[in-house]
Structure 1
Amino acid sequence: MVNFRKYISGITVLASGLFLAQTTVSTVLFNSNSESQKSFNLPSPVAMIEKTILSPKELVDINVNTMMADPVLKNATWGFVIYDPKTKKVISSYNENTPLVPASTTKLLTTETALSLLGENYRWMTQLEYSGNVDENGVLNGNLYIVGSGDPSLGTNKAGAWSYKEIITDFTEGLSREGIKKVNGDIVIQTALFKGNITRLPENVVWLENNNYYLPAGTTKEINPMNEKLIVKKNTTISNDKKYFYVSPYTNQMVYAEKYDGDGILTTKLPDAPAFLANSFRASLVKSGLAVTGKVQTKTTDAQPEIRKTVSMYKSPTLADIVYYTNQRSDNSLAEALLKTVGYFKKGNQTPEAGRETVTEHLKDAAFDLEGLTYMDGSGLSRSNKVTPISQVKYLTSLMGTKYYQTYFNSLPIGGQSGTLKRMFLETGNGQVFAKTGTLNKVKALAGYIKTNSGKTLVFSLLVNNYAGSVDMVKKRMEQLIEPTLDL
């Protein structure tokens, strides 16, 4: 941090001149005989002198020292690092080695691990297959199989994913090509990945915070919305998608509703995507006149699988598209799905535990400083997540030489322009700050890259825990701290 003593003498010498200048300006502008005085927005002389005699680095250091005594931050625990990836040196820092709650900046680790292990062109496949034979009348004497791979975007329209309706239309056209006019059998859901949607929640998750993003958990299968306990007020929305959150008495977990109809009645959305797809597919076939004699059933393993023929294959958007959507919108459900996917890819197990082990092992291989790191979930919802600012910036620096860096970089929100940074850096820093945001109650985080006015790329981390005041107050101070770094 900056040593103020070396600046005191220069500022003291100028103090009398500044006072005289301000007095002279006031005398010139003020006329006691005038009934109405004009307001002049003159620049602060002190601010002008600071910019004249202090370097950008010194201004950054002064801002850090000033914030230590700021009423909003003085009792908070926070850390900051601005880092030059070319010189590999810290330009300015405060509490750089302190483990702090990173909130959704945790997604920086999750999404990069997925890109590294799976590749940016990775896609999830959902196939329609059938067993048995089709007779001369177009009757299939066998089963239809919907074989999934844990596609987190299935039916959501996220990142360009198809809707359930579009997938069902494609599957139906596939049956038509095969000449199938009736199914004398069941529709079987078979997926090796994500065997169930009801899993234990990450430790110490905060589910209901103002203006945050949430992960739908559990399944609404067999749940009557009339029995749900609404935990948000009518007309209160928590995201731009207008989703409402409630606790299921059946699973004792939080799920969400797309619509609030009043009086505690909720219209729910099924997070159990394969089951919803299969049931909707069956209903659509029957409605169109293609009879299905059997029912929808789930089969996770099959010791003696039937010989099957592929009818249609739906491919998800690429992983690059999914990562872009995840980081731009801070989508928790996609981040948790990526965690499970990398766990399955490396360990053959779709549990969160396998995912956490995979991410941690990848970070170790990537020379991430594991000291101070606690990685509990893929999304950053858990308050048990911890990371140090210095480890974040060194990690982000190490990625700049990877083959997928540009894809990763492009996924980050841009200050004043896109994603969760669209309403920050509207003036200074607009289009120059590329970073992942993080927000929980009394936690605000920002980590990423800065394009300076001279064309350099710097890396930074700013994590604030237990602040006083509002989120907007903290965001304003973050912007003030970042502002002089643009001139570095």
Structure 2
Amino acid sequence: MINIKKILVSSAIAVSAFAFGQGTFASTNYPQSYDSQNSNISKESAEKLLSAKELVDIKLNSMMNDPVLRNANWGFVVYDPKTKKIISSYNENASLIPASTTKLLTTETAMNLLGENFRWITQLEYSGEIEDGVLKGNLYIVGSGDPSLGTNKAGASSYSQIISEFISAAREKGIKKINGDIIIQTGVFKLNKSQSLPENIVWLENGNYYLPVGTTHEINPQNEKLIAKKSNPFSENKNYYYISPYIGQMVYADKFDGGYLTTKLPDAPAYLANSLRAAMLKSGLSVAGKVVTKSTDPNPEKREVITSYQSPTLAEIIMYTNQHSDNALAEATLRMVGFQKLGDQTLEAGRMVVNNHLKSVGFETDGLNYFDGSGLSRANVVTPISQVKFLANLMNEKYYKTFQETLPIGGQTGTLKRMFNTTGNGQIFAKTGTLNKVKTLAGYMKTNSGKTLVFSLLINNYGGSVDQVKSKMEQILEPTLNL
């Protein structure tokens, strides 16, 4: 916690000079150029007399009365992972909405449990016999819950690319006609209808809903409406926004008659199978049957693999998730750690796995509520001190370097490309978070002396605009680079 009294006592002269340089005293009759020059000299003199830590604490103290932050609920910590001590902090134990910095917990858990080189496999298989180019049996698409399937994200292939490869492989196998069905084997999925509206949705400006996980229950695709491409697509009406499994784009519906949310994942293999059947028919490879989904198969047919599609590595998917703050990938990843660990591909299983993992690595769970994988829900809360200790402990893991490289870099990549364009450029490696009146940042910094420090800055209910609070965040972090 800041001890500003000690700083003021030990550095009274310096602070006086600093205050003069900031115009605290009455203006003189000197020319403006002289005032400006004198101000710079005074400020430089103050900074030379004060330590880097004292300058950080003075900056924090000044921010408490800043119009953007004085009525906000916010917390900040700079932590030294080597000494395991707090360098400077404010409200470090406050439970605050972390927004998309929640993805740090989701993606690190996945990398820890699955490994950075983990890949999802989607297989094309067949049952029966192939005689004179005719498959007397069924085609099977066997999915494993690939969250990137068909998205083009993180280097993933598009549906059309996967379909082209599947058709080519089927032809190479000698298949020219299919007498049976195309069966989607979705045994990894369970019907995921657990949260009733509006428990797991986020309020946006103007009273709109945003559904963070894929599709919705019982919304007719004919009633979906594409979001217009304009600066603020959200109208004054109450609408429900989600990713359509039918066209793969953000849409909205005027009303929501269903009572549940469901994930997008089960629709991915269905879309692939239906598209595969259509492409086969178009290319002259006839399919007598239809697309059938089997979540359970008590009497499985003997099958042989025709070909398989591999997802990008988990590290590549996490890189895309954190760089772009991709909510759909984060939610899919949460559900997949639940399946991989507990065999249950539901939100509850994913949350249990993440919480158990956090406890196993010594995460301080006081003040934590991990509600979803993306940070879209305002039910998520975390303390700044628990975030920094978690990130500091992560530095001891063998995959730390890979994980750190997934984070946006100040002034250079991802969601930090437009922040820290001057001071801090290339020195801040952190996950951003944004909700209405919530702005957050947590990660690592390379100081000017070459040290690696960990920090968390969580701001809730700030005043002013997003640009204004981002500017204040930069001002708070600027002096920490000299620590």
TM-score normalised by length of structure 1: 0.87
Which of 252, 258, 261 does residue 246 from structure 1 map onto?
252
1:303 matched to 2:298? The reply is yes
SS in 1 for 2:202: coil
- Match of 2:308? 313
SS in 2 for 1:401: coil
Give runs of aligned pairs for residues 441-480 of structure 1, distance below 5 A.
Answer: 441-480=436-475
- Bigger drift between 141-150 and 216-225 goes to 216-225
1:26 matched to 2:31? The reply is yes
1:93 matched to 2:89? The reply is yes
Residues 150 and 281 of structure 1: is their aligned pair in 2 closer, same or farther, counting only changes over 3 Å?
A: same
- Match of 1:258? none
1:217 matched to 2:220? The reply is no
Question: 1:41: how far off?
Answer: 7.8
Say if 2:119 and 2:311, in contact at 8 Å, map to a contact too.
Answer: yes
Among all aligned residue pairs of Structure 1 and Structure 2, give the percentage whose two residues are the same amino acid: 60
Q: Which amino acid aligns with 1:276?
A: Y
Q: Which amino acid aligns with 1:446?
A: L
Question: 1:220: how far off?
Answer: 8.6
Say if 1:203 and 1:376, in contact at 8 Å, map to a contact too.
Answer: no
Question: 1:243: how far off?
Answer: 5.5
Say if 2:227 and 2:233, in contact at 8 Å, map to a contact too.
Answer: no
Say if 2:265 and 2:332, in contact at 8 Å, map to a contact too.
Answer: no
- Match of 1:44? 40
Residues 365 and 282 of structure 1: is their aligned pair in 2 closer, same or farther, counting only changes over 3 Å?
A: same
TM-score normalised by length of structure 2: 0.88
SS in 2 for 1:72: coil
Structure 1 residues 417-473: Cα deviation after superposition (integer angstroms, max 9, x where no partner): 000000000100000000000010111110000000110000000000111111111
Structure 1 residues 4-44: Cα deviation after superposition (integer angstroms, max 9, x where no partner): 431563147758997999858527869xxxxxxxxx78863
Which of 36, 61, 69 does residue 65 from structure 2 map onto?
69
Question: 1:224: how far off?
Answer: 3.5
Say if 2:103 and 2:322, in contact at 8 Å, map to a contact too.
Answer: yes
1:331 matched to 2:326? The reply is yes
State how far apart, in whole Å, the 2-side matches of 1:344 and 1:419 are: 29
Question: 1:178: how far off?
Answer: 1.1
State how far apart, in whole Å, the 2-side matches of 1:17 and 1:126 are: 68
Residues 314 and 213 of structure 1: is their aligned pair in 2 closer, same or farther, counting only changes over 3 Å?
A: farther
Residues 43 and 307 of structure 1: is their aligned pair in 2 closer, same or farther, counting only changes over 3 Å?
A: farther
- Match of 2:407? 412
Which of 88, 109, 119 does residue 123 from structure 1 map onto?
119
State how far apart, in whole Å, the 1-side matches of 2:361 and 2:85 are: 19
- Match of 1:205? 201
State how far apart, in whole Å, the 1-side matches of 2:19 and 2:60 are: 27
Residues 126 and 205 of structure 1: is their aligned pair in 2 closer, same or farther, counting only changes over 3 Å?
A: same
- Match of 1:400? 395
Question: 1:157: how far off?
Answer: 0.3
RMSD: 3.2
- Match of 1:192? 187
Say if 2:17 and 2:42, in contact at 8 Å, map to a contact too.
Answer: no
State how far apart, in whole Å, the 1-side matches of 2:15 and 2:166 are: 79
- Match of 1:6? 9
State how far apart, in whole Å, the 2-side matches of 1:102 and 1:16 are: 35
Say if 1:56 and 1:485, in contact at 8 Å, map to a contact too.
Answer: yes
Q: Which amino acid aligns with 2:252?
A: Y
SS in 2 for 1:44: helix
State how far apart, in whole Å, the 2-side matches of 1:405 and 1:72 are: 35
Please list every run of 5 or more consecutive structure 2 residues that lacks an aligned counterpart in the other structure.
235-240
SS in 1 for 2:307: strand
- Match of 1:346? 341
Structure 1 residues 203-249: Cα deviation after superposition (integer angstroms, max 9, x where no partner): 35315459x99735225998333x2467878664589x996441364
- Match of 1:134? 130
SS in 1 for 2:31: helix
- Bigger drift between 66-75 and 354-363 goes to 66-75
State how far apart, in whole Å, the 2-side matches of 1:194 and 1:270 are: 8
State how far apart, in whole Å, the 2-side matches of 1:397 and 1:152 are: 28
- Match of 2:166? 171
1:390 matched to 2:385? The reply is yes
Q: Which amino acid aligns with 1:117?
A: L
Question: 1:52: how far off?
Answer: 1.9
Question: 1:88: how far off?
Answer: 0.8
Q: Which amino acid aligns with 1:64?
A: L
State how far apart, in whole Å, the 2-side matches of 1:222 and 1:295 are: 23
State how far apart, in whole Å, the 1-side matches of 2:88 and 2:448 are: 18
State how far apart, in whole Å, the 1-side matches of 2:402 and 2:18 are: 51
State how far apart, in whole Å, the 1-side matches of 2:322 and 2:356 are: 22
Which of 345, 364, 368 does residue 359 from structure 2 map onto?
364
Q: Which amino acid aligns with 1:154?
A: L
State how far apart, in whole Å, the 2-side matches of 1:327 and 1:298 are: 33
Say if 2:105 and 2:354, in contact at 8 Å, map to a contact too.
Answer: yes
Say if 1:219 and 1:271, in contact at 8 Å, map to a contact too.
Answer: no
1:103 matched to 2:99? The reply is yes
State how far apart, in whole Å, the 2-side matches of 1:204 and 1:198 are: 11
State how far apart, in whole Å, the 2-side matches of 1:63 and 1:13 are: 15
Q: Which amino acid aligns with 1:273?
A: A
State how far apart, in whole Å, the 1-side matches of 2:18 and 2:182 are: 83
SS in 2 for 1:79: strand
State how far apart, in whole Å, the 2-side matches of 1:165 and 1:487 are: 51
State how far apart, in whole Å, the 2-side matches of 1:56 and 1:344 are: 48
- Match of 2:238? none
Please list every run of 5 or more consecutive structure 1 residues that lacks an aligned counterpart in the other structure.
31-39, 256-268
